[in-house]
Amino acid sequence: MVVYKGVEIEALHGDLTKLEVDAIVNAANTHLYMGGGVAGAIKRAGGKEIEEEAVKKGPIEIGSAVATSAGKLRAKFVVHSPTMELDFKTNEKKVRLAMIAALKKAEELNVESLAFPALGTGVGGLAKDLVAKIMVEELKKHIDHGTKLKRVVLIDINADQVEFFKKELGGLK
């Protein structure tokens, strides 16, 4: 764990849906359908009502985010931040925009703890090291501008992704 300007940032190997945090982030598509990957796992663990609530708020643009309840999850909210359209293609810019939008939405919700999966590495196919770099850069910028967040968890089911997160966090000063 790293503490950066009073915010605890942790890289964990595990299941996003089991975390006890105020909000978790869903790497969504712009129509907010929750089929596979992280979105599918959130829907399976938290209930289809999360997807039903999300879809009613969509479609949304990449660079914006919506929040829903978290169903049966331990979290209070799911922040849906799209990294791709329905073509399932993403890139560095889209991941940056999704990260910024999710952090902004978390501030609007007044949450103190937030968990992110790796954005864009699953269906999106982006390199795990690149995504870790982008996510930590945007998180640092966000904290530098002031935040209500006290704890941020970067979590993934892939151990190699967690190592890339840890490497990037090691550079925070």
CATH of the domain at 137: 3.40.220.10
Asked whether residue 17 carries a pLDDT value surpassing 90, the answer given is yes
- Domain tally for the chain? 1
Quick one: DSSP state of residue 35? -
CA distances from 100 to 20, 37, 161 (A): 22, 21, 20
pLDDT confidence band for 116 (50 / 70 / 90): very high
Tell me the average pLDDT across 45-53: 98
Q: What is the pTM of this model?
A: 0.97
Query: Can you give the residue range of the structural domain that contains 107?
Result: 2-170
53-109 pLDDT, tens digit per residue, is 999 999 999 999 999 999 999 999 999 999 999 888 999 999 999 999 999 999 999
Q: Measure the CA–CA gap between 26 and 41, rounded to whole angstroms.
A: 10
> Does the pLDDT value for residue 123 go beyond 90?
no
